[in-house]
Structures are given as structure tokens and as C-alpha cells.
Amino acid sequence: MSSNSSPPTADRTDLPDDTPNSALATARQQLERAAAHIDINPAIVERLRHPDSVHEVTIPVERDDGTVEVFTGYRVHHDNVRGPGKGGLRYHPDVSREESIGLAIWMTWKCAVMDLPFGGAKGGVVVDPKSLSEGEKERLTRRFTHEIRDVIGPKTDIPAPDMGTDAQTMSWIMDAYSMVEGETVPGVVTGKPPVNGGSYGREEAPGRSVAIITREACDYYDRSISDVTVAVQGFGSVGANAARLLDEWGATVVAVSDVGGAAYDSAGIDPSSIPSHAEEPEAVTEAGETTISNEELLALDVDVLIPAAIGNVITADNAADVRADIVVEGANGPTTTPADAILSERDVAVIPDILANAGGVTVSYFEWLQHINRRSWSLERVQEELEAEMLSAWENVRREVDERGVTWRDGAYIVALSRLAEAHENRGLWP
């Protein structure tokens, strides 16, 4: 364990049981798989199975009709040995203590595989944001910020947008935090609008990194990007940006989908002509010519499949139907552990989420640097530096894959875990 002690407000009640296929169960299984490949102190593996701290807060909010509703929020710190916590805040009815811990663990791997000086954190509020007015969302966000203000900060834990939250949410958090601090503190969150100290290129970054990694994976398997066909599940921030870039780089995107189904054309579709989730929510099937289901999209005979919507969509039930040669994980945790084993047996290359969609946290890191230096970077600089960081991470993972003959997921976890283990060994256990 690192010598950093957790804040006194931390609630350290027992961990929940691992629910099968939950983010926590999957994160722990992946940790154990990677640990089996390297010479690592078992005490460090045991330490990494658990979060540093779990903060659960109550958030009373006045609704527009004058009634008060009470919501539950979480902020989890998983491991801070390499730096302050970093991870998103989700507003979603399925947010839970267990899910937040699992996602915080993933953030630790993601930051480590990208060699960013951050640890893993995550959190959110159990709420359907669509059920709130804009004013209710602002009051919820400001009160939530107040409740977690002791455990976040530019040097301790820096939240970012995730499902159900956006640049506006980050602006409210920054404002609520800054008002009490008595000074403007842009570095308390990333993913802010550029006018409030956000970075250009943050919004498109996870989709851009998915596209970069797809291009590199195609190159690795001797396929030119202009010859490959691609299907993308989910047409939000990650899916739409990835699909549009790949189309721009010459790939043939044959299908994209949202929660309502997929638009499909074997000759290729123009992803720029279809509104993304942010541009017009759930409009994919209205814009496409032929409509197929999300299940059918996952089974299309394409070169590359990019699940970029939600977790657990490729499972033991449908992994045998996947006909793509390469799966690039745009979403967090789209492949369950049993499905991963089936795909591996079938020689389907699965490029893991912690590498592929890490552009988001990488540009968040750039945003944090811009805050520290009080200097804004151009969009061109952000894109160039992101490209360089992604290629460097790809190269480190590729080396492990080639030298050890392991899967891409194991390769990425080996890179991340080796860095974490060394940092823990050097810092030691306190006291």
C-alpha cells in the first residue's frame, strides 16, 4: 500500500460480493490473469483487489414542484500510488457502490497503461438524468459536489464526465468547488468547456483513440485501413467520433447503431450524415436505409467490430456469433470474461478498453497540465500529442503480446500491473 493515507471521511464498510459479470468481478478476474504472467508480490495483488476508500453520500434536492427528493452518490478511490485519482462521474439509475469500485479499478489500469501520473477513481449518482429539469440537475450537481468536496481536488482526485454528465456538469462542479475555496480552481475537474479552462479535443478524444488503435491493429494484422469493413455499436461520443474518423481515413463503415437498432449497408454508410447521440439522441435508425438489430450488428461479417455503447454486450451467449476478426473495445467492459475466453479460442483479436478508449483520460491529463501551466493548447497540438501517447502505449502493449504470446488484454494488463507493482514496491507499506 502507498504511504498516502485516506481522508478521515472515508467509509470503509465491507466490500460487496462480486456479482458475476459485474465491473468489479471482471476487473478482479483481469487483475488475477495479468498477475499470473508476471513476478509480482501477492500482497500487492491482494491490495489492488480492494479500493482505497468508498465514499457514499446523501444528496437532498428540491424538485421544481417544491418537494424534496433524496439521492445517493458515490466517489471511489481505488489506488493512488502513481498520483491523484482520476475518473468519471456517472448519472444513471444503475450506479452502485459495486459498479463504482469496478470502474475505479479500471481507471487505475487505464492510467497506468497510458503511463499517466494518476490513480483510479470513479463515482456517480443513482438517478435518471432524463427525469430532471436543467435546474434540478444543477442543484443535484452542486449539492453532490459539496458532499464530496473533502475527497476531490486538483491534487487528490479529479472527476470528469461519464454517462449522463457532460461539460456543463463539470462547469457546475468547478463553480461549486471554487465558491467555497474562494478562488477559481479549474483543475478540480476535467472535461470542462474550453472557455472555462477545458481542453480543445477532449470531447472527441475517446473516439479518436479508438480510431487510432483500430488503424494500428489493422496495420499489425497486415490490413490497410482503406480495405477494412467496420461495424460500430453505439453512436455517442465514442462511437460516432470513431466511426467518422475511420470513414475519413478510408475504412468502410457498414453499420452503426444506437439503443433503437442499427443502420446497415454492406456497401458502406456515411457516418457524418447520421446524427450522433449528442446531435439528436437515438436518431440512427431514422437516418439509415436498412435497419438491423443490435444483436445482428454484433454478428456482422466485418473485419472490425467496435462495441462503443455499454458494458457486457459480448457474452458467452453470443461470442460464438461474432464474425469480426478484430474487436476494438470502445465502451468500458463490453466483453464478459467468459466471452473473452471464447473469442481468444477462436483467434479473434480483442483490443481492450483500457488501451483503446484511453484517449479520454489522456486528453483529461492534457487539460490538467494546461490548468497547472495556465496555458491553453491548440486543437492541433492536442491531436498530435494524443497520437504520440496512443502510439507509445500501443507499442508497449504490442511488445508484451509479441514477446509473451498473450492476448491484447493480457498484454495491456501486464504493462499496467508491472508499473503499479514497481511503484508499490518502491513506496512500500506505511507504517
Q: Which of 122, 130, 137, 155 is catalytic?
A: 122
CA distance 235 to 278: 9
Helix (H) or strand (E) holding 237: helix 237-248
CB of 220 to ligand NAD, least distance (A): 22
Nearer to ligand NAD, 202 or 424 (CB): 202
Say how many Å lie between the first and final Cα of the chain, rounded.
10
CB of 190 to ligand NAD, least distance (A): 10
Nearer to ligand NAD, 141 or 335 (CB): 335
Nearer to ligand NAD, 229 or 285 (CB): 285
Nearer to ligand NAD, 2 or 370 (CB): 370
Residues at the interface with ligand NAD (CB under 6 A): 162-163, 206, 233-239, 257-259, 277, 282, 294, 308-310, 330-332, 357, 360
Q: Which amino acid is at 185?
A: V
Q: How far does Cα 316 stand from its chain's mean position?
A: 23
CB of 356 to ligand NAD, least distance (A): 9
Q: Residue 342 contacts by C-beta under 8 Å, 6 or more apart in sequence?
A: 316, 319, 320
Least Cα distance to 78 among 34, 115, 31, 125 occurs for 31
| Strand-pair partners of 70 | 60
| Strand-pair partners of 252 | 229
CB of 360 to ligand NAD, least distance (A): 3
Nearer to ligand NAD, 229 or 276 (CB): 276
CA distance 305 to 316: 17
CB of 189 to ligand NAD, least distance (A): 13
CA distance 153 to 148: 10
Q: Residue 94 contacts by C-beta under 8 Å, 6 or more apart in sequence?
A: 126
Nearer to ligand NAD, 186 or 333 (CB): 333
**Residue 98: helix, strand or coil by DSSP?**
helix
CB of 212 to ligand NAD, least distance (A): 14
CA distances from 175 to 122, 153, 164, 239 (A): 20, 13, 19, 30
Place of cell 444503475: 94
Nearer to ligand NAD, 145 or 332 (CB): 332
Q: Please provide the DSSP assignment of 148-181 as one string.
A: HTTT-BTTTEEEEE-TT--HHHHHHHHHHHHHHH
CB of 161 to ligand NAD, least distance (A): 6
C-alpha radius of gyration, the chain, whole number = 21
CB of 233 to ligand NAD, least distance (A): 5
The DSSP call for residue 182 is T
Active-site residue flag, 155: no
Nearer to ligand NAD, 85 or 330 (CB): 330
Q: Is 376 left (phi over 0), alpha (psi -120 to 50) or beta?
A: beta
Helix (H) or strand (E) holding 254: strand 252-258
Helical H segments across 264-407, by residue range: 284-287, 294-298, 337-345, 353-356, 359-373, 379-404
Beta strand spans in 24-145 (E):
53-62, 68-79, 85-92, 119-126
Residue facing ligand NAD at closest CB distance: 236
Q: What residues are annotated to the active site?
A: 122
